[in-house]
Amino acid sequence: MKIIRKILLTGIVGTFSTDIWTIILKVFGVHSHGLLLVGQWIISHLSLSSQKELEGKALYLGWTAHYCLGMLFAFVPIALYGQKWLHRPTFATALITGLTTFMFSIFIIQPILNFGVAFSEYTGQPIILLKVALFHIVYCIGLYGTARIIANCPKTQKT
């Protein structure tokens, strides 16, 4: 399996893990509107004709952005550890990746979405930060698990 495909696969499964996590939380009454808000933000920065064309599609656009970022962040372990991470993935490297995605979220994405740095505009900031941190830990677990499966699969040993 080519290296880029392996990296993208780890990103897709890591991101999918967060979707499963969101569904599990929803069962327990914990809801998230993050993907919808991301999609709405993207649409709000497009031309008026594009906004009309994408009306009602904010959730899908947010979901697409979510998976693109998940695949992009799957390159972090390679940047940190090189291609050998795909052959011998470590949880520590995945955890650093999860921390990187968390920091990106609270210091870049949240301010862009007008939530303030680390949700500073909200009274429930500690709870929100905990939810976001757990979300990114789930991403790194999915990333790591997928990399382990790929590394242990005989057909993927050729890069």
**47-99, pLDDT tens digit by residue?**
888 888 888 888 888 888 889 999 999 999 999 999 999 999 999 999 999 99
Q: Is the pLDDT of residue 35 over 80?
A: no
* In the predicted structure, residue 158 carries a pLDDT above the cut 70: no
Higher pLDDT, 120 or 31: 120
What torsion, rounded to 10 degrees, do the Cα atoms 108, 111, 112, 115 define?
140
Residue 156 pLDDT level (bands cut at 50, 70, 90): low
Over residues 130-150, the pLDDT tens digits come to: 888 999 999 999 999 999 999
The mean pLDDT of 15-41, rounded to a whole number, is 85
The DSSP call for residue 115 is S
Q: Is the pLDDT score of 127 beyond 60?
A: yes
Q: What is the value of pTM for the model shown?
A: 0.85
Q: Which amino acid is at 137?
A: I
Which residue in the block uniquely carries the two structure tokens 């993907």? 35
Rounded mean pLDDT of 30-38?
76
Per-residue pLDDT of 2-16, as tens digits, reads 899 999 999 999 999
